[in-house]
Amino acid sequence: MHKTSRKPQLIWWVLLAFLPVTVVLPELGLINPYLQQVFMYVGINIILTVGLNLVNGYMGEFSVGHAGFMGVGAYVSAILTVWVLPRQYGPFLFPFVLVAGGLAAALAGLVVAIPSFRTRGDYLAIVTLAFNMIVKSAIENIEAVGGPRGFMGMDKLTNMAWVYAWTLLTLYCVRNFVYSRYGRGVLSIREDEVAAELVTVNTRQCKVLAFVIAAFFAGVAGGLFAHLLQFINPRSFALFPKSTEILVMVYLGGIGSIGGSVLGATIFTVVLELLRPLGVWRWVVVPLTLVLLMIFRPTGIMGLREWRPFIPPGELLRPAPGRQEVKAGAPAAD
């Protein structure tokens, strides 16, 4: 019988070896603060994108409120560092703070996963949308955390090394999840939920896991974001622009592909930075690109393919190409 090895290939060790570089570069002043900032945004966006790809790409659900989870994580971790934990130990406690933010977001993910047992497609999209709106609206109405004015007072604990480490960890966890038994269950839900259930896939368990993992990492990303900007307000986690941005990154890079998410998040973040001189027109160009992308290449750049480093060694089956939802009367796709 063929066995898929969980062991990381060489590339993961190489990527890990770069970790000290991300510590040293800023220390020696070899990289200017602006580039550092962009690098960290790219990392945070990769974490968010890979998480959402798990739900939207691999599971084939349509979650649109990913920034809601990010908001939960950001506020929980920010409150922890500012009010609860002793400030002088901040840098040491930072990973635990991030995990706590992630866990809070994961709890929210659990709540959102429950309606997904009964509804799919459009309705689940609306559930996640409502969740996003409720998170934003709830924070706006809690005066203690500043309401609509936002929350500040965090130390700048996020640095390149932390972002890099969490990005690697996220990618590695998602890769292992996708090629695990549950991951195959998640894929089978995308292909045909009823059939999956008939061959004894525990679809509920798979759905909950996918949602919770995606939410956890979004919460961590939120924590990183909060301690990078040192200021958060409810509008940072609104449906527009944040949730929409994450959606664009997922569909730009390619659904059902970790490599695609890395590519999508990187390209989108960098291009958005480059387009800064356009001012308001930037947000005219971006949605236009999205529409064109959907019309001409709806599966994104990678289009359900995967980069080698993200496929565990010994894995024979690449994720099956998503069955196109062929409507009657339409010419069969591909």
Partner 1 sequence: MVHILQQVLNALQLGSVYALICLGYTMVYGVLRLINFAHGDVFMVACYIGFFATTYFLTRGHLAPTTTFVLGMMLAMMLTALLAVLIERVAYRPLRNAPRVSAVITALGVGIFLENFTLATLGPEPRHMPALVPVVNYHVGGVVISSVQVVTIAVAVLLMLLLDTTVMKTMTGMAMRAVSFDRTVAPLLGVPVNRIISITFALGAAVAGAGGILYGQAYPIIDPYMGIRIGWWAFIAAVVGGIGNIRGAMIGSFILGFIEIFTPVVLPSSTYRDFVAFSLLLLFLVFRPTGILGQPATKKV
- For residue 160, give both structure tokens: 């390149």
Give the one residue of 126, 161, 168, 301 binding partner 1; rule: CB under 8 A.
Answer: 126
The nearest distance, CB 119 to partner 1, in angstroms, is 5
Q: Does residue 247 interact with partner 1 by CB under 8 A?
A: yes
x-or-dash string of contact with partner 1, 144-163, rule CB under 8 A: ----x---------------
The nearest distance, CB 59 to partner 1, in angstroms, is 12
Q: Do the beta carbons of residue 257 and residue 321 sit within 8 Å?
A: no
Residue type, 50: V
Give the one residue of 114, 270, 274, 317 binding partner 1; rule: CB under 8 A.
Answer: 114
Radius of gyration of the chain (CA): 20
Q: Does residue 125 interact with partner 1 by CB under 8 A?
A: yes
Length of the chain as a residue count: 334
Give the one residue of 10, 194, 199, 316 binding partner 1; rule: CB under 8 A.
Answer: 194
Q: Does residue 326 interact with partner 1 by CB under 8 A?
A: yes
Residue type, 308: R
Give the one residue of 14, 284, 317, 320 binding partner 1; rule: CB under 8 A.
Answer: 284
Give the one residue of 11, 30, 35, 134 binding partner 1; rule: CB under 8 A.
Answer: 134
The nearest distance, CB 106 to partner 1, in angstroms, is 19
x-or-dash string of contact with partner 1, 248-267, rule CB under 8 A: ---x----------------
The nearest distance, CB 14 to partner 1, in angstroms, is 35
- For residue 200, give both structure tokens: 């004894």
Q: Does residue 334 interact with partner 1 by CB under 8 A?
A: no
> Which residues in this chain contact partner 1 in the complex, by CB under 8 A?
56, 62, 64, 114-115, 118-119, 121-123, 125-127, 130-131, 133-134, 136-138, 140-141, 148, 194, 240-241, 244, 247, 251, 280-281, 283-284, 286-288, 290-291, 294-295, 298, 324-331, 333
